[in-house]
Amino acid sequence: NNCIERPQGYNVSFHYNSKVEQHHFGKTHPMKPWRLQLTKQLVLGYGLEYAMDMYQTRPATKQEIAIFHDRGYLDFLELVTPNNVDEYRDEQNKYNFGIEFYDCPVFDGMWDYISLYSGATMDAARKVCSGQSNIAINWSGGLHHAKKSSASGFCYVNDIVLAIQYMMQYYSRILYIDIDVHHGDGVEQAFHSTNRVMTLSYHKYAPNEFFPGTGGLDETGPKDTYNEGAHHSLNVPLKDGIDDHEYKELFKVVTGHVIEAYKPQAIVIQCGADSLGGDRLGRFNLNITAHGYCVEFVKATHLPLLIIGGGGYTPRNVARTWTHETALCVGAQLHDDLPWHIPYRRAFSGERNGDGKLYPDLSTVSLKQNQNTAEELHTIVKNVHWEMRYVHS
Ligand code: TV1
Ligand code: CA
Ligand code: ZN
């Protein structure tokens, strides 16, 4: 039995439109929107919908998306299809579809997909700002690489930037935390020149070897100290194979320092699940509970909280992690045996797929050696701490 506490006046909301899971980037493309269907099935299988407000969200309008993105770029996204793509050769190059074509393909229903994930994130942001939700969740969002007028790394529109821009009408300081294995470059760049948003990304860092190649320790914002954005970008660059213990400790100390110094009024966390062990694109050795620790930690601040998805390329583990994190939000403990009645149970069965368990051991499946030394991790902590002397709330 799951024990679900629902204290009066504490609200978690789940924002989703199941049309989003029907889209395909292409047969071999690692981004699989159906992982969201798998997630929703698990969430429902455990009965978590009884502990949250469930919202079916509408697509974002072009108008809403245009508060951050370039009009010409949005016209292109809306009009281009696999059939007419040849007529848009100039635009393709201009908007980064030419060079990164394989990462960001033009697919059928692309605009529909974009407006659906963006709409769900904006809906969640509105519920946080209105005070109706203490925590609002959209697992279909978190596309942190998209820029004002270009697509990048599987991301077309930056729903996180849209949400934070909306939230800035209500809060004077917002902390953005990004635990996707990739650097949250699009969000960092969008708020480069403001001290009203602090961005903090944890990621694998290896320029020229691992996407996107940015997010080094010294990348802390504009170097011009009179620029208000100076010292308001923070990065935690890591190497292959970081384990649960090191990651949790680092997250606790670094995020703790930042919250203490910056005193944010709201937190947005991108929970990309590609930082798990055994992810198809990832390099870390984290288990589901260590990933979830980050959500527990930010929840414990009791600040208004927006939670969004992101990467995650081993769909069964993405679904497990986001279900676990949904449960953490509502204060439920889930049984390690997956519910029997869920559709797609086979996706979670068999030795290779985690044996019908919610919490299979993922720390050993990737066999990545831990390349992070205690000294390097210490340097990161020291640097962030030192950086905080410039930050005032
Ligand atoms: C089509 C088919 C596209 C198979 C892309 C992995 C594919 C990748 C594919 C892939 C792949 C990347 C780069 C190379 C930069 C390019 C949602 C010089 C097996 C948030 C985005 C990673 C991560 C992009 C997105 C990266 C997120 N890795 N197979 N592409 N060029 N792109 O390295 O942060 O998780 O890999
Ligand atoms: Ca990250
Ligand atoms: Zn990623």
CA of 211 to the centre of ligand 1 (A): 7
Q: Which positions are annotated as active-site residues?
A: 183
Task: Indicate the pLDDT class of residue 61, thresholds 50, 70 and 90.
Answer: very high
Average pLDDT, integer, range 49-66:
98
Q: Which residue has the higher pLDDT, 92 or 259?
A: 259
- Nearest atom (ligand 1) to Cα of 182: 34
Mean pLDDT for the stretch of residues 302-316: 98
Residue ranges in 130-243 assigned as alpha helix (H): 159-167, 185-190
* Ligand 1 atom with least separation from CA of 280: 19
Please list, in sequence order, all residues whose beta carbon lies within 8 angstroms of the beta carbon of residue 30, skipping any fewer than 6 positions away. 154, 280, 281, 313
**Pairing relationship of beta strands 305-308 and 135-138 according to DSSP bridges:** parallel
Task: Report the pLDDT value the prediction gives residue 5, as an integer from 0 to 100.
Answer: 58
Residue with tokens 């100076």: 230
**Looking at residue 318, which CATH number applies to its domain?**
3.40.800.20
Residue with the smallest CA separation from ligand 1 atom 30 is 103
Q: Name residues with Cβ closer than 5 Å to ligand 2, which is an ion.
A: 178, 180, 184, 201, 203
| Confidence at residue 366, expressed as pLDDT on a 0 to 100 scale | 78
Q: Does the pLDDT of residue 299 top 60, yes or no?
A: yes
Distance 290 CA to ligand 2 centre (A): 15
Is pLDDT larger for residue 374 or for residue 366? 374
Please state the atom number of ligand 1 nearest to the C-alpha of residue 210.
33
Nearest-ligand number for the alpha carbon of 199: 2
Nearest CA to ligand 1 atom 25: 153
> Coil, helix or strand for 357?
strand
Residue labelled with tokens 């204060």: 331
Domain-located, residue 1: no
CA distance 97 to 255: 35
Please give the number of the atom of ligand 1 that sits closest to the Cα of 312: 35
In a domain, 36, yes or no: yes
Instruction: Give the position of tokens 């640097």.
Output: 383
ipTM, 2 dp? 0.99
What's the confidence (pLDDT) of residue 1? 46
Mean pLDDT of the region 74-80: 97
Asked whether residue 219 is assigned to any structural domain, the reply reads yes
Q: Does 63 fall in a domain?
A: no
Q: Which residues contact 232 (CB under 8 A, 6 or more apart)?
A: 191, 194, 195, 197, 198, 199, 220, 221, 391
**Per the domain annotation, does 364 fall within a domain?**
yes
Q: Mean pLDDT, the chain, as a whole number?
A: 96
Could you tell me if residue 295 is inside a domain?
Answer: yes
User: What is the domain range of residue 381?
Assistant: 8-58+114-390
Residue type, 266: A
Of the listed ligands, the closest to the CA of 201 is 2
Whether the Cβ atoms of residue 322 and residue 139 lie closer than 8 Å to each other? yes
Burial 320-344 (b: 16+ CB within 10 A, else e): bbbbbbbbbbbebebeeebbeebeb
Total of domains in the chain? 1
How many C-beta atoms surround the C-beta of residue 10 within 10 A? 14
CA of 144, nearest ligand number: 1
Q: Which ligand is nearest to the CA of 178?
A: 2
pLDDT tens digit sequence for 327-360: 999 999 999 999 988 888 899 999 999 999 999 9
DSSP codes, 57-77: PPPPPHHHHTTTS-HHHHHHH
- Residue 203 CA, ligand 2 centroid: distance in Å: 4
Kindly give the distance from the C-alpha atom of residue 151 to the centroid of ligand 3, in angstroms, as a whole number. 15
Mean pLDDT of the region 91-117: 90
Rounded Cα gap, residues 169 and 173, in angstroms: 10
**Could you tell me how many residues make up the chain?**
393
99 confidence band (pLDDT: 50, 70, 90):
low
Spell out which residues line ligand 1, taking CB within 6 angstroms: 28-30, 102-103, 143-145, 153-155, 180, 182, 211, 272, 274, 281, 310-311
Handedness of CA 385, 388, 389, 393 (dihedral sign): negative
DSSP one-letter code for 153: T
Give me ligand 3 centre to Cα 393, in Å: 30
Out of 95-99, 190-194, 244-248, which region has the weakest mean confidence (pLDDT)? Answer: 95-99
What is the pTM (predicted TM-score) of this model?
A: 0.97
Question: Atom 10 in ligand 1: which residue has the minimum CA distance?
Answer: 103
Distance 365 CA to ligand 2 centre (A): 21
Cα atoms in the 13 Å half-sphere on the side-chain side of 143:
30
Considering the domain boundaries, does residue 82 fall inside one? no
Nearest CA to ligand 1 atom 13: 211
Mutation pick for ligand 1 pocket among 145, 180, 181, 211 (CB with most ligand atoms within 8 Å): 211
Whose Cα sits closest to atom 33 in ligand 1?
A: 211
Q: What angle do CA 44, 125, 16 make, to 5 degrees?
A: 30
The answer to whether residue 37 sits within a structural domain is yes
Ligand 3 mean position, distance from CA 113 (Å)? 18
